[in-house]
Structure 1
Amino acid sequence: MTQLRPWLTASLPAVLLAAGLATSLSAQGARPPRQTVKMDSARAALLYVSNRHEDHPVADYDAAIKDKQKTDSIYAARSKGVMKFSKVTYKSSADGLEIPAYLFEPLTTKGARAHPAMVWVHGGVHSNFDPQYLPFVIEAVQRGYAIVAPDYRGSTGHGKAHHNAIDYGGMEVDDTESAVSVLKALPYVNPDRIGVMGWSHGGYITALLLTREANGSPFKAGAAIVPVTNLLFRLSFKGPSYQRSFSTQSKLSGLPFEQRAEYIRRSPYYWVDSLKTPILVHVATNDEDVNFEEARPLIDAFQARQPRLAETKVYVNPTPGPSSVGHTFSRRVTKGTWVRDDSPEQIDSWNRTWAFFEKHLGK
């Protein structure tokens, strides 16, 4: 019989019994002592993660549509006299899917090709561009930027089909890049002065947009704030309840150990060396969503291998935001009034962000 390592030999009988297999362990037919293995059904249910798309978590699609209508009304009301607001759609370069988006523009423009512009990317595995971004959008427009904010596939508020078309780190990235077409169609936008910015999952998409393109990115600079960085680490760290939103996506159909190459392809951490575009990254040590254990390796990699292109800052225990503690430290907004609820760290982060974009996109 093939020689087995001692630890494997010792554990093999239990494994075989647990599987319900009656087999001999040696040519002499010796059997192990009879053992009883009790299945903990509650724990098994807790740990079970499906890889079938039909098991993807179900949402209240009608309620999400109503919430989106409220968001639309808030943006429309708060934009009056401040900026131009409209809802637009465009086709994704991935497959032609119609992508809904918000477009925010200055009330007056300086002339043809005179303005910078940005694509702003919302966060969340399933979320949308909600009113928490309002005060920052207003500030961007007042600085002369045109802003397009896509609700890429998987976003909420656009019905079941759009919601369940989610492709985390896949075609949603193409959806976001395709929003550039909206900005290039504006006669006052300079196509050579377009940036991208996102928070959390939006920061993750931003980082992928700046690293994954073999022929370069259409963006001249990008800011990834508290970004998701490494799906192999993240899914392990967060556990089964989080994993179910990934493994049941039709383009993934499994966990990292089943689709290792695909999860690596969708993780910015593994594409640091491909960066060709200036990027700003801010993270927080007290982040309870993108935990610092996940964020730190990306920061270290950018500092070590891309110091010319990457501008990074670690905020040590910044004043908590309205949710997820440090994860929203630079998105502190008073709900209802939708004005900035500034902390020293929020002010510093935005000052650095605007300085970064002014350096690379101009005023």
Structure 2
Amino acid sequence: MLTEETVVDAQMPVVPVISPDGRWVAYGVMPGKTVWVAGVDANAPSRKLGKGIDPKWSADSQYVYFRTEAQLHRERAEGGDRRSWKGEVGTYLPLADSYTVVVLSPDPSESDPWVWSEAGNHSRLRLLDLRSGAVKTPEVFLGRHVVEVAERPGGGMLAVLTQESADPGELTPRLHLFDPATGEVRELGAAAVSAGSLTWWEGADGWHVAYVATTPPGIAGGNAVLDVALTEGEHRNLTEGLPVCPLNLTSGGLTLVANGLDSAIHRLDPATRRLVEVLPLRGLAWWLTASADGATVAVARSEAHEARSVFAGPVQGPLVRRSDTAPELRTIEWGAQERLSYRAKDGLELDGLLVLPPGKSRKDGPFSLVTIVHGGPYGRWADQLLLHHYEPAQWLAADGHAIFLPNPRGGQGHGHAFATNGTLGREEWHDLLTGIDLLIEQGVADPDRLGIGGYSHGGYMAAWAVGQTDRFKAALMGAGISDWGMLAATGELGAFEAAHGGSTGWEGVGPHPHDERSPISYASKIRTPVLIVHGAKDTNVPLSQAEFLHRALRSFDVEHEFVVYPREGHNIVERIHRIDLLRRTRTWFSRLNGS
């Protein structure tokens, strides 16, 4: 039986990391924050190292590192020889010399006021000597926040990504080279916005540093792989025009991409400097990792009725399951999950998913239909097991609803052009309606029993929907946006939100473009009952976004429920809160079936 506890307590693997020699894969498990190691060839069963997160390997593949709140730990892959170093450790990277670890951490601050112009929370690049425990802080990148570090294979040079501040919405990333032996720094120029996933790879012309970032020159839209040949210094877009979206890079020039409802592994071709598909992966894949030579890989992956697991093997396949953290989910009868393909009003090809109640088929329709909109907007629904508080497809299907999970334009999986085709609340809204109308026409959905919901950008679209039409009988706005101008001013990604909303409000006397795109502007038209849920400590989409809509609905005497979860950020993490949210969600949408 599927219960709230079953959903919330299911253990899922996160961030697998393969050893450089390709023999082992370490991974975390959440909730619970434990670290495990398994043999890639399945001869060594999975073994729990203990409490911790963020596993990484020594260059010789002998040790796996992981961290707890105030310690860095190291243990042999086979077990034993545990050592620990005290001290707060955030981002870290063991180096090839086997006795140095790069640690990124801010300087201690004795100042109580937060002073915007002071760089007190900048992460500095530090070198931890494992033999003595001493920490050295080179006088480099002063006045800049160090975001990420990657070591050249074989050791020596470090690629370093920095930005002006620790603000997540910072628009000033730069790429550098740093030699920890000599202290020499070489500048590689400005990087594209939201740069990350730094990776070294070797081409015909020598060493390159590649990274994933927002496709230049914009600050919102699809991702690209940007590449810098050290002999040139130019940042080149290697994915221009491709109908897929890069997710992360790893050893050997390997890239994980989103490809429609599926995923795939691509490799950077040294001759053409373009991505070439190596292995298609059905469903959703996360966190591609590879051995030093790129011959062996591991990913976390989920399919329609299979929970997320770690898979590993040769890069050409097949990949074999190497974790089994939630076997209880295999006893559940899931609703049939169907891939959808249809065209928007302007002919653009769209895809999505349909989940039916367990044991039912299309011929048993029409059903009440709940449309769940993905976040982002640069997100997507892939053909995965959709079982989470912010993707409750199977949870609601078990209560008798059909669930529509559309991928309107603006999301990932179809290249940069798809991600930038249209305006928020306009073309993507029409794409949602086209899919809903198609399911009504096919006899799957009852037009008098429609609901809509989502989280983050999905919450925005739910709030937008009920201000545009009375067709929906229930809506869920989870951590959603009601006013783009206010979000640009108060959200941690202000510049990005201004790009989405079209303006900020401080350009002069309005009306402004963001007013036309903000659900709050249409609050007087809302008649649909709305469940508003939000984390009290959300810095991505601050609580004021929910409060604004709540006060507007109260003013217009619209039925709604406003739920705030204390201590929670943009993602709800506490067990009791997740259970409560699942129960409220199911109860709220049960009105579609008269209960």
* TM-score of the aligned structures, taking structure 1 as reference length: 0.69
8 Å Cα contact 2:336-2:361 kept in structure 1: no
* 1:223-282 CA-partner distances (Å, limit 9, x unpaired): 11111111011112247x6424653x7x94x65455843210111122211102221111
Shift of 1:155: 0.5
4+ runs deviating over 6 angstroms: none
**1:65 maps to 2:65:** no
The one-letter code matched in structure 2 to 1:145 is H
**1:189 maps to 2:445:** yes
Shift of 1:65: 2.2
Q: Alignment RMSD, CA only?
A: 3.3
Distance 1:350 1:134, change over 3 A: closer
**1:230 maps to 2:483:** yes
Identify which range, 284-293 or 109-118, moves more after superposition: 109-118
- Structure with more helix by fraction: 1
Q: Name 1:327's counterpart in structure 2.
A: 570
Shift of 1:121: 0.3
Shift of 1:180: 0.7
Shift of 1:84: 1.5
Gaps of 5+ in 1: 1-41, 319-325, 333-341
**1:267 maps to 2:495:** no
Q: C-alpha distance in 2, partners of 1:299/1:315? A: 15
Q: C-alpha distance in 2, partners of 1:65/1:309? A: 39
8 Å Cα contact 2:303-2:385 kept in structure 1: no
Identify which range, 160-169 or 278-287, moves more after superposition: 160-169
8 Å Cα contact 2:480-2:545 kept in structure 1: no
The one-letter code matched in structure 2 to 1:91 is R
Shift of 1:92: 2.8
The one-letter code matched in structure 2 to 1:298 is L
**1:151 maps to 2:407:** yes
Q: C-alpha distance in 2, partners of 1:185/1:78? A: 31
Q: C-alpha distance in 2, partners of 1:327/1:116? A: 29
**1:160 maps to 2:420:** no
Query: SS of the counterpart of 1:311?
Result: strand
Shift of 1:104: 1.3
Q: C-alpha distance in 1, partners of 2:556/2:439? A: 32
**1:21-170 correspondence runs (5 A):** 55-57=217-219, 59-60=223-224, 61-62=245-246, 63-65=256-258, 68-69=262-263, 70=281, 72=283, 74-78=302-306, 82-93=334-345, 95-106=346-357, 107-108=359-360, 113=365, 115-129=367-381, 131=384, 133-135=386-388, 136-170=392-426
Q: C-alpha distance in 1, partners of 2:399/2:446? A: 15
**1:286 maps to 2:530:** no
* 1:143-187 CA-partner distances (Å, limit 9, x unpaired): 111111111111011222212215223221222222212421443
Q: C-alpha distance in 2, partners of 1:282/1:90? A: 32
Distance 1:82 1:294, change over 3 A: closer
Shift of 1:137: 1.5
Distance 1:188 1:154, change over 3 A: closer
Q: C-alpha distance in 2, partners of 1:111/1:151? A: 24
* 1:283-307 CA-partner distances (Å, limit 9, x unpaired): 121112111233322222223333x
- Structure with more strand by fraction: 2
8 Å Cα contact 2:304-2:386 kept in structure 1: no
Q: Name 2:577's counterpart in structure 1.
A: 345
The one-letter code matched in structure 1 to 2:519 is P
Q: C-alpha distance in 2, partners of 1:132/1:328? A: 19
Q: C-alpha distance in 1, partners of 2:385/2:362? A: 29
Gaps of 5+ in 2: 1-163, 166-170, 173-192, 194-214, 225-244, 247-255, 264-280, 285-301, 308-329
* TM-score of the aligned structures, taking structure 2 as reference length: 0.44
Query: SS of the counterpart of 1:155?
Result: coil
8 Å Cα contact 1:220-1:277 kept in structure 2: yes
